Amino acid sequence: MIKRTIDISESAYLHLKNQQFCIDKQGALVAQIPIEDLGVVILQNPAIVMTQALMVACQKNNVAVVFCDERHIPYSVLLPLSEGNTLHSKILQQQINITLPTKKRLWQRIVQHKINAQAQTLKNINQSAVLLERLATQVKPGDPDNLEAQAAQAYWKLLFGQNFKRDSDLAGINSVLNYGYSIMRAMVARAIVSGGLHPTIGLNHHNQYNGLCLADDLMEPFRPWVDFEVYQMAENTADLQVHKDTKVVLLNLLSKNVLWERQEMPLMVASHYLVASLKRAFEDKTIALSYPKQLKLS
C-alpha cells in the first residue's frame, strides 16, 4: 500500500490516540490518520507541538518526519535506526566494509542515471539532449572527470534559460527546487532505513556534518524529475514560490506510478526496490544498480 505524505503548515498540536496521528487546531480535533498509513510527515510551522509518544510511534512505523526552517524549506529528517530491518547489524557491517572500487562503480551508475534523467527532461521540453546523452556514456568509475558537473552546466541553461543560476539560497524557482529535492531526499532516506542501511554512510557524499550522505547519493537521479515539474509550473507562473499549490504538485510525485522492471508502481514503493538493488550490488560486482523509470508522457 502506498504510504501517505502530509504537510502541516499551520500551528497545531499533534498527538497520539489509539494509534492514530491526531491533529488539533485551536483546541479542536481536525484530522486523525492511522500511523501505519503514513510515510512522510512535513512540519512547517514553529508553533507546531508534537508529543513524545507520537514521535516514537512514527519512528516505530518508519515514518520520516521532516522539519522545515523559517523559509519553509525542509531542513532535517528524523528517522528510526533500530527497527528498520531485523538484520540491521549484519547489513550495516556489510555497508561499512564496502570497498572503494565498489563505491566508485556504484557512483558511476548513479551519475549515468542522473545525466540520462536530465537528458530525458530536456527531451520532454523539446530541447536537445545530444550532449548529455554523450556525456552519460563517458562516465568512469568514481566520475574522476566530473562529468556530472559538466552535464549540469549545460542542463540548467537549456532548462531555465541562459540567465538562470542554480543557487539553493535564492528564492523563486530555486526555493521550489529545494522543496522538491527535500521531499525526494526524505523518501529515499526512509527507504534506506527500512532496508537496514545507515543513511550517513555514503558512496560519494561524505560530509561529516551530513547525516544523510547515502540518501543524497541515491536521490541524485530523481532530481530531474523534480526539475520537470518545476519547469511546468514556472511556465504558467510569473513569480514561482513555495506555497500550497506548488507543494501539492511536488508531494504528488511520491505517489506517481513509475516503471520498475516492467511493473508499474508508485515511486515511494519503487524506492524500496532501489535500496534492495543497492544491497545486491554491494555483494555482487556483476550486478548493476537499477533505478525506476518514468512512464512516457501522454
User: Which structural domains are found in the chain, ordered by start?
Assistant: 4-78 (3.100.10.20), 88-294 (1.20.120.920)
> Please, what sign has the CA dihedral across residues 177, 195, 66, 30?
positive
On the question of pLDDT at 147 being above 90, the answer is yes
> Tell me, what DSSP letter sits at residue 140?
P
Order of strands across the sheet that contains 263-266: 263-266, 257-260, 293-294
On the question of pLDDT at 49 being above 90, the answer is yes
As a whole number, mean pLDDT of residues 27-46 equals 91
How many residues are listed for the chain in this entry?
298
On the question of pLDDT at 92 being above 80, the answer is no
Q: pTM value?
A: 0.84
On the question of pLDDT at 87 being above 60, the answer is no
On the question of pLDDT at 74 being above 90, the answer is no
- Confidence band of 285 (pLDDT split at 50, 70, 90): confident
Separation between Cα atoms, residue 143 and residue 271, nearest integer Å: 24
Closest Cα partner for 220 from 104, 115, 101, 130?
115
Could you read off the pLDDT of 189-212 as tens digits, one per residue? 888 888 888 888 899 887 665 768
